[in-house]
Amino acid sequence: MPNILLTRIDNRLVHGQVGVTWVNHLGANLIVVANDEVSEDEIQQDLMEMVVPGSIGIRFFSIQTTIDVIHNAADEQHIFLVVKTPQDVLRLVEGGVPIDKVNIGNMHFSQGKIQLFSTVSVDEDDKEAFRKLRDLGVKLEVRRVPDERPDDIYKHL
């Protein structure tokens, strides 16, 4: 069983808050970025690697590759799984990745979305993915940084 400490939805993926603050809070030694586009974009990978301390590993996998390889993780790998969208989390859970808790950190506002929290905006597809995750027993919390009080997104769906 992979040792996934936390899964985070953040449309920015890895940045200072994720690469340092959350990693230190969780005690993670490996960040797995599960994203189809970034898994093939070396420039984005290089930019994300720059904010991660050298003692922390980082891997970039497509959603399907993550599903295929996550169960091969070594016991000593303490994984912080980072994705871009709730749909990505749903694909991972439906693909057998053992995710029981998801932190929602940042989902930018765009056309067709409504703002639920200062850093979280959703559309109907996002809401549907969250409802399916709830039905699958996944706990969801909105929290930008570790010392912030978590909020339950289900109350807002």
- Residue given tokens 């940084």 in the structure block: 145
CB 51 within 8 A of CB 14: yes
Q: What is the DSSP letter of 137?
A: T
State the Cα–Cα distance between residues 78 and 121, nearest whole angstrom. Answer: 29
Question: What three-state secondary structure class fits 42?
Answer: helix
State the Cα–Cα distance between residues 69 and 13, nearest whole angstrom. Answer: 20
State the Cα–Cα distance between residues 9 and 126, nearest whole angstrom. Answer: 11
Closest CA to 7 of 116, 118, 85: 85
Give the active site residue among 15, 25, 78, 156. 15
C-alpha dist (Å) from residue 55 to 20, 27, 70, 101: 11, 12, 20, 25
Active site includes 71? no
Active site positions, annotated: 15
